[in-house]
Amino acid sequence: MSDGGARVRGLYHALDEQVRPLLARHADRLGCRRGCAHCCIDGLTVLQLEADRIVAAHAELLRTEAPAPAGRCALLDAEGACRVYEVRPYVCRTQGLPLRWFEEDEASGEIHEYRDICPINLEGPALATLGDEELWTLGPFEEHLLDANLELFGHDRRVALRDLFAKRC
């Protein structure tokens, strides 16, 4: 495995360790399961180290199989399951969880917190009542991933998942 492969594998391991207690905490409201592909939208892009991880693990699939039709993530199969699930990128590993993130108000410069969750997982305690640690906070992990990518490749260009396939539909 390349340095990049080992690096991203370590990052995903650390990520999964952080996500696991959140999955347990919200098990009652999470409807995420094999075949539910609402999050698996077309046009997703990933950093180079994530793309390389998928290619290294699924070279034959990407060479011989066709991407899913336009409008769905190219990596979905006909049953709505992910064909690269064990090496799926960061964004797919936190989908479905209650999310929080911060944005700066352009006019005032104030920082505001936002919270959201997939509509399928809406039923349950209101997001506003959850403690900060009960949501996945967007931002910090993305920075780790970007730092690693910059170290390895010296750029932050993103790769479309659809472009990983040799064939085009």
Determine the distance from the C-alpha atom of residue 64 to the mean position of all C-alpha atoms in its chain, rounded to a whole number.
24
Question: Using an 8 Å Cβ cutoff, are 96 and 30 in contact?
Answer: yes
* Helix, strand or coil, per DSSP, at residue 81: coil
75 near ligand SF4, rule: CB under 6 A: yes
Query: Whole-number minimum distance, CB 143 to ligand SF4, in Å?
Result: 21
Contact 29, 126 (CB under 8 A): no
Residue with Cβ nearer ligand SF4 (7 or 88): 88
- Of the ranges 7-15, 18-26, 70-78, 122-130, which one interacts with ligand SF4 (CB under 6 A)? 70-78
Q: How many residues bind ligand SF4 (CB under 6 A)?
A: 9
Min CB(93)–ligand SF4 separation in Å: 8
Under the criterion CB under 6 A, does residue 30 sit at the interface with ligand SF4? no
Cα–Cα distance for residue pair 53/111, rounded to 1 Å: 35
27 CB-contact burial (10 Å; exposed 0-12 / middle 13-18 / buried 19+): exposed
- Which stretches of the chain bind ligand SF4, using CB under 6 A? 40, 44, 73, 75-76, 82, 84, 88, 92
